Amino acid sequence: MSIKKLPDNSGATLTVLDLDGYYLPTFLQLKNHEEELRSMPDWKARDDDVMICTYPKSGTHWLWEIVSMMVRKKAERIKTVKETAMMEIMAKETHDNIPSPRVLNTHVYFEYLPKDFAERKCKIIYALRNPKDVAVSFFNHHSKIREYEFSGTWEDYVQRYIKGDLDYGTWFDYTLKWEKFMTDNQDYPIFVTTFEDMKEDSLREVTRIAKFLGVDCDQTFLQEVNDLCHFDRMKKEKNALEQADGWKGDEPGMYRKGEVGDWKNWFTVAQSEQFDIVYQEKMKDSKVKPRFTLRK
């Protein structure tokens, strides 16, 4: 495993960790990172674990906050950030010492996760976001976090994103792998939502999540959780918990706009058409139908 700088068409690089051809963020703060990552399949799960699985920039923070409140049965702001429970950034000791019920999260493929997690059939919450909005959010993410050492342009980034020359590979591969896993394991307890569904009616989705988790609660509790997890409120309160020195300008930017359809402000007509051609080819056999806009 080594640090790798992935160049774009103009030579601008993105710094990642190369794990046998699978790219991850460097996570320089984690000692013995390779050892921890390679040992992860042997980590032990607990029956009440919940895992949130998403491609980056698909509402992971939002869901983690909601689910963490649900399992605690308290409509109170979580006093830490979701990175403290992120599988690929933690050591085994940290994983083992998180008190139950654990709400874990990850962007890695399922095969990298603990085998015990699958054997116990721990609950999974899987969220999808349309790939054009993901591209915009990921570009801003890469541009602002110091560790990536990235200063490329949006024009070149679109090509990088399509090819998967970034951490976690392509949106296409991630989405297709999860679609296949769910098709092959229809008895597995997986809750599926989308970023667009959450934006359209967050209370509806919060209610569905509570039912999936088996949380016994009333409508007042659900509304309180929903209100606490409104994007603007989370942006203000949760950004204050982020480590500012990891961001350019020392200003945390994990929460940006949280909108559906912002891609229209970034993609040119030509870029959008090119992306659509690739999308149609990559997803031609898929039943996944993301929404790129919401009806007003």
Residue ranges making up the domain that contains 84: 44-130+168-282
CB 101 within 8 A of CB 49: yes
Would 202 be classed as within a structural domain?
yes
Give per-residue pLDDT as tens, 149-162. 999 999 999 999 99
The domain that holds 66 is classified in CATH as 3.40.50.300
Question: Residue 293 pLDDT > 80, yes or no?
Answer: yes
Would 232 be classed as within a structural domain?
yes
Would 12 be classed as within a structural domain?
no
Question: Residue 250 pLDDT > 90, yes or no?
Answer: no
Question: Phi, psi (5° rounding) for residue 15?
Answer: -85, 125
Would 5 be classed as within a structural domain?
no
- The closest alpha carbon to 13, from 154, 146, 155, 150, belongs to 150
Q: Among 65-74, 82-91, 201-210, 247-256, name the one with the lowest average pLDDT.
A: 247-256
**How many domains does the chain contain in total?**
1
**Could you give the count of Cα atoms lying within 13 Å of 139 in the half-sphere of its Cβ?**
22
Strands 123-128, 190-194: parallel, antiparallel or unpaired by DSSP? Answer: parallel
Mean pLDDT over 204-213 rounds to: 97
Could you tell me the sign of the dihedral formed by the alpha carbons of 141, 146, 150, 153, in that order? positive
Question: Residue 187 pLDDT > 60, yes or no?
Answer: yes
Q: What is the DSSP letter of 247?
A: B
- Give the pLDDT confidence score for residue 94 in this predicted structure: 95
- Give the pLDDT confidence score for residue 54 in this predicted structure: 97
Would 263 be classed as within a structural domain?
yes
Mean pLDDT over 173-182 rounds to: 96
Question: Residue 246 pLDDT > 90, yes or no?
Answer: no
Confidence of residue 81 (pLDDT cuts 50, 70, 90): confident
Confidence of residue 243 (pLDDT cuts 50, 70, 90): low
Q: Among the residues of the chain, which ranges form H helices?
A: 33-39, 60-72, 92-97, 115-120, 131-144, 154-163, 171-184, 195-200, 202-213, 219-228, 231-239, 269-282
Would 179 be classed as within a structural domain?
yes
Q: Among the residues of 17-130, which ranges form H helices?
A: 33-39, 60-72, 92-97, 115-120
Would 17 be classed as within a structural domain?
no
Would 2 be classed as within a structural domain?
no
Active-site residue (options: 107, 141, 142, 230):
107
Is 107 annotated as catalytic? yes
Supply the pTM of this predicted model: 0.92
Cα 98 to Cα 234: distance, rounded to the nearest angstrom: 23
Strands 13-19, 190-194: parallel, antiparallel or unpaired by DSSP? Answer: unpaired
